[in-house]
Amino acid sequence: MKQNRREFIGTVASAGLLLPFSSSQLSVSQENTQNKFPLRLFSKPIDNYDFDFMCECVERSGLGGFDLTVRPAGKVEPSAVEKDLPPLAEKARKHNLALDMIVTGIVNATDPLAERVLKTAASLGVTHYRLGYFDFDLKAGVWQSLQKYKEDLKGIVDLNRKYKIHGDYQNHAGTRVGGPVWDLYEILKDYTPEHIGCQYDVRHAMVEGANAWIIGMRLMAGFVGSLAVKDFTWMTVSGRPRAITVPLGEGMVDWDLFFRMVKELNIACPVTLHVEYPLLEKDEEKLSLRQQQDIIVRKIKKDTDFLKNYLEKYQLI
């Protein structure tokens, strides 16, 4: 359900709820330039809303900016990046929010859209982006697939160097490259972490390695360019185990161990908060936009506060 700002204002006004969004009402993030862990919101869960609505959600939640989807079916389509991304970056600035992280589908520098996306993003102040995913070619072989993708990264690293932007590959549970985490080390180890690295996702690492994830994290520590944060629990769905994303602190991620390791391994990088559980129940989707926003903000802010508390607990901010 796409909503524009005019519809949003009109809806809340007709409901008698239109209030000025002053700085006293919004938790606008005033980030210190020395902050080693700038907090961003992975935009996917609220991409269907108008961007001003999205900005207001992020402001009120106490986050500092966006990790915006610039990929097929994302907030910005790669083919329209030169036209559509600059006005969003300008709107974010007006809301005192950073738009310095994006999520892409880039997997090969030979794709003409890859350079267009990175050139445009870098010109707008984007410093970090997430790559797309590699699939294993089982006919060629697992090891052979890794060698091919290692070679493909050369062109991507060259683009990153050219535009002074950092690319990260997310470890993601499943059978694609990055599921085991160790495979990422193989394709990254010959490159400098200055231009390419890993978006380390503790949720996905724990799903695939309930106990061994800490070994993979130690191995990847030098290549961690960003952290993706979310929680999960196991449920039985149709007779099969399934990892279900839940609010931070309500699942199985060992947050004390995770943040102790972040500190021990001297990891310092942007953090993207992934709120990938339902933000609205079915009946709540019929509420006014202001009511929807209040519910969305309450859930995102709860995760944000949880994350900030752990960063403070381990003296990381």
Q: Where are the domains of the chain?
A: 32-313
Q: How far is CA 152 from the centre of its chain?
A: 23
Give the per-residue pLDDT at 317: 83
d(CA 276, CA 135): 23
Strand-pair partners of 237: 240
Average pLDDT, the chain: 91
pLDDT digits (tens, 9 = 90+) for 265-307: 999 999 999 999 999 999 999 999 999 999 999 999 999 999 9
pLDDT digits (tens, 9 = 90+) for 13-72: 333 333 333 333 333 334 544 689 999 999 999 999 999 999 999 999 999 999 999 999
Comparing 19 with 206, which gets the higher pLDDT?
206
Alpha-carbon Rg of the chain, whole angstroms? 20
Give the per-residue pLDDT at 265: 98
d(CA 258, CA 16): 45
Residue 146: CB atoms within 10 A of its CB come to 18
Q: Which residues contact 279 (CB under 8 A, 6 or more apart)?
A: 45, 46, 295, 296, 299, 300
81-94 and 112-123 are packed helices; what angle lies between their axes, rounded to 10 degrees? Answer: 20
Confidence of residue 128 (pLDDT cuts 50, 70, 90): very high
Taking domain 32-313, whether its CATH number is 3.20.20.150 is answered by yes
Is a pLDDT exceeding 50 seen at residue 90?
A: yes
Confidence of residue 107 (pLDDT cuts 50, 70, 90): very high
Average pLDDT over every residue of 187-205: 97
Give the per-residue pLDDT at 11: 41
Q: What DSSP assignment string belongs to 171-210?
A: P-SSSSTTSSSHHHHHHHTTS-TTTEEEEEEHHHHHHH-T
112-123 and 142-163 are packed helices; what angle lies between their axes, rounded to 10 degrees? Answer: 40
- Token readout for 104 is 């892409």
Average pLDDT over every residue of 174-182: 96
Report H helices in the chain: 5-14, 51-61, 81-94, 112-123, 142-163, 182-188, 202-208, 213-220, 255-264, 289-313
Is a pLDDT exceeding 90 seen at residue 1?
A: no
d(CA 25, CA 77): 33
255-264 and 213-220 are packed helices; what angle lies between their axes, rounded to 10 degrees? Answer: 20
Give the per-residue pLDDT at 300: 98
Give the per-residue pLDDT at 34: 62
φ, ψ for residue 66 (rounded to 5)?
-115, 150
d(CA 174, CA 176): 6
Strand-pair partners of 228: 201, 272
Give the per-residue pLDDT at 35: 86
Long-range Cβ contacts of 304-310 (<8 Å, 24+ apart): 304/39, 304/61, 304/62, 304/63, 304/273, 305/62, 306/247, 306/248, 306/249, 307/39, 307/229, 307/248, 307/271, 307/273, 308/39, 308/62, 310/255, 310/256, 310/259
